[in-house]
Structure 1
Amino acid sequence: MLSDADIIADRRRMRRKLTFWRVLSILILVLGLVSAGMFIGRNSLDGSYKNHIARISVSGLIVGSEQMEKLIKQVSASSSVKAVIVSIDSPGGTTTGSEKLYRSLRALAAKKPVVAFVDGNAASGAYITAIATDHIVARETSIVGSIGVIMQYPNVAGLLDKVGVKFEEVKSSPLKAEPSGYKPTSPEAREAMQKIIADSFTWFKGLVADRRGLKETELATVADGRIFTGRQGLPLKLVDELGDERTAVAWLETQKGIEKGLSIREWKPKSYENLSFLSTLAYGADLLGYEKVADNFRRAGEKAAASNLDGLLALWQPSLNN
């Protein structure tokens, strides 16, 4: 008869074996996804499908993906795509990434009807994405707005003083490589940064005023950096209509003359080159039913992506502390 100690030891061995096989199954799935991605890269949508409405999803941090730019060009060139729905759920991203996506979508809109569907967040840089389309449909409780620009950088000068580390530098002029996280920001450096922020903010407001047809007083009401729900954004002209994706399709049919009954096909980048390793692990864990493991991988990926952002941001408060 087994003793309690033997039973506990057996349970531990079984637990270790179970953990091993779970990890192994995730790794095998990841390898399968990578292989599938390479296959999809050679066999993804190329315009050979029958007439349809293309859906392009914009989610997560916007950083100016080359894969997304290529995808939009492919959608534009496809004769079977009769209209495009841009489904948005993003807190924004870098100003250059947002501008790049905006320009690509405007070029697409010059060739095909394009409607935005805010399925969650279209804040800051993601709102720039929304206004690149011909019409904005948002859920009532979605988030829009956050019109503004921010530059953030850590300052570890106090910490360095405590540990007795001094950062030395030799540079050509006082404002070279400013601001620096190794010393307090000088008034001159802060003023220079503020001018950059002001210039980018003026550019952002100009886009909103032009695309949404806002008067100066109307623009001032919405351009103070705050966010709005879809319901609030409707009378403020930040969105055109409340509803879901079917509402967006109905607008394309009634206002742009798109044939009724067309199917919606999701267009995705041709490969997984833009999918980080941690995101791939999260996807694999989700498929295997390990939701908590997937959440941990996903959060780690978000933190890693946010830590790599530099320069000016058009971003609404991503949650990175949980």
Structure 2
Amino acid sequence: MSLDADLIVERRRLRRALTKWRVAAVLAAAAAIGALVVGLDGPGFVEKRQAHIARIPITGLIRADRERLKMIEEVAKSGAKAVIVAIDSPGGTVTGSDSLHTAIRRLAEKRPVVALVEGMAASGAYAAALGADEIIAGRNSIVGSVGVIVQFPNVSGLLDSVGVKVEEVKSTPLKAAPSAFVPTSPEARQALQSVVDDSYAWFKDLVKTRRSLDDSLAQTVSSGRVWTGAQALELKLVDRLGDQEAAVAWLAETHGIDKTLPVRDWQASRSATDEIRLSTRVLAWLAEAAGWPVLAQNLRTEASALSTTLDGVLAVWHPPAGQ
């Protein structure tokens, strides 16, 4: 065998060995990072059993979240003597908000619960706050937006301008209505309005009952607008103004909770989709570091495709575009 042939064989052998080591390094790094991520979720077993005040953060858009509901059930079985539900959320889906409210009410039957509006408790997030025994808000927190909404795009005009028509065959006129591809019919709009009205009636009744409001005040606070914490106090949407220190003081005054107990954050385990998204991003970074740019780009594309959307009837607040 010639010297050149020997060199070619040797290079191929080294290349295969290098590839194996790269794959092993990527897998080892992914496993290590995965173990670290899992270890960062919530307080440890020993801390959960010790006496403390549990702090449950409610942030971002609220949606159906089985892991968070499971975590709330675990708080009731832990060493937590009381609970602070710290809220900074514009709301979310009606179903998710309703489920969260119900879970907090069940928790309140076993532990004293105070809701603390740290930044915003609007729409569905305020519905969640109504599950607590007491609601405390910051002076300039955003509170309210009692109402529901259904939003959907309509691109039929755009399709007409480019000469595209979407045809469909369906069982009944209201099946899959509304559609982004055709103008919304009066019947479809009426059907959606009935859904919105029913959810809105649930929300208004919840506010009226939980806050012990008369009909006139209940109508005022259910206008769909938001209020500052100070305004919400005058309207009886919150019980007092303050921060976490005020929440702990209320627990001590009304339930005899030891103010020196540590306040510990509880975090729900990540959903399967969140875990896959995180793992995919980690693998993309490792693939880039290993010199596989094409694989890295494909992994990033997959991670972006896993974005969660909010569908259906929403109880959510956001400022108008441009503000």
TM-score by length of 1: 0.78
Counterpart Cα distance in 2 of 1:318 and 1:281: 31
Structure 2 residue 140 is the aligned partner of structure 1 residue 141: yes
Does 1:205 pair with 2:204?
A: yes
After superposition, the CA RMSD in angstroms is 3.0
Per-residue deviation, 1:173:
1.3
Question: How do residues 182-261 of structure 1 correspond to structure 2 at under 5 angstroms?
Answer: 182-261=181-260
Taking the aligned partners of 2:186 and 2:96, their CA distance within structure 1 comes to 29
Where structure 2 has 5 or more consecutive residues not aligned to the other structure, the ranges are 1-27, 283-299
Equivalent position of 2:130 in the other structure: 131
170 and 85 in structure 1: CA distance in 2 versus 1, 3 angstrom threshold = same
Q: Write the distance in 1 (CA, Å) between the matches of 2:160 and 2:62.
A: 36
In structure 2, what is the Cα distance between the partners aligned to 1:187 and 1:70?
A: 42
2:182 alignment partner, SS class: coil
SS in 1 for 2:210: helix
Contiguous gaps of at least 5 residues in structure 1: 1-27, 283-296
Indicate the SS of the match to 1:57: strand
Deviation of 1:64 after TM superposition, in Å, equals 1.6
Corresponding residue for 2:151? 152
Partner residue in 1 for 2:293: none
Identity %: 49
Letter matched to residue 235 of structure 1: E
Question: CA separation of 1:191/1:270 partners in 2, compared to 1, >3 Å: closer, same or farther?
Answer: closer
- Deviation at residue 269 of structure 1 after TM alignment: 1.8
Partner of 1:66: 66
Give the letter for the 1:153 counterpart. Answer: F
Give the CA deviation at 1:201. Answer: 0.1
Query: Cα 1:131–1:159, aligned 2, differ >3 Å: closer, same or farther?
Result: same
Q: Which secondary structure does the structure 2 equivalent of 1:151 belong to?
A: coil
Offset at residue 44 of structure 1 (A): 3.4
CA contact (8 A) 1:30 1:280 kept: no
Q: 1:177 maps to which residue?
A: 176
CA contact (8 A) 1:115 1:136 kept: yes
The answer (yes or no) to whether the contact 1:115–1:137 under 8 Å persists in 2 is: yes
8 A contact 2:87–2:118 mirrored in 1: yes
Change (3 A) 1:280 1:121: farther
Deviation larger for 46-55 or 190-199: 46-55
CA contact (8 A) 1:91 1:121 kept: yes
Supply the AA of the counterpart residue of 1:60.
G
For residue 273 of structure 1, report the CA deviation from its aligned partner.
4.3
Q: Distance in 2 between matches of 1:137 and 1:127?
A: 12
Q: C-alpha deviations, 1:196-229, integer Å up to 9, x for none?
A: 1000000000111111111100011110100000
Between the two proteins, the alignment pairs up a number of residues equal to 276
The alignment partner of 1:234 has SS state of helix
Give the direction of change, closer, same or farther, for the CA distance of 1:273–1:55 in structure 2 (3 Å limit).
farther
How far apart in 2 are the matches of 1:206 and 1:104?
A: 18
Partner Cα separation in structure 2 for residue 157 and residue 123 of structure 1: 33
Structure 1 residue 84 displacement after superposition: 0.2
**How big is each residue's C-alpha offset from its partner over 1:7-63, in whole Å with a ceiling of 9 and x where there is no partner?**
xxxxxxxxxxxxxxxxxxxxx998755322334569834665421100000000000
The residue number in structure 2 matching 1:312 is 313
- Separation in structure 2 between the aligned mates of residue 205 and residue 70 of structure 1, nearest angstrom: 27
1:93 aligns with 2:92: yes
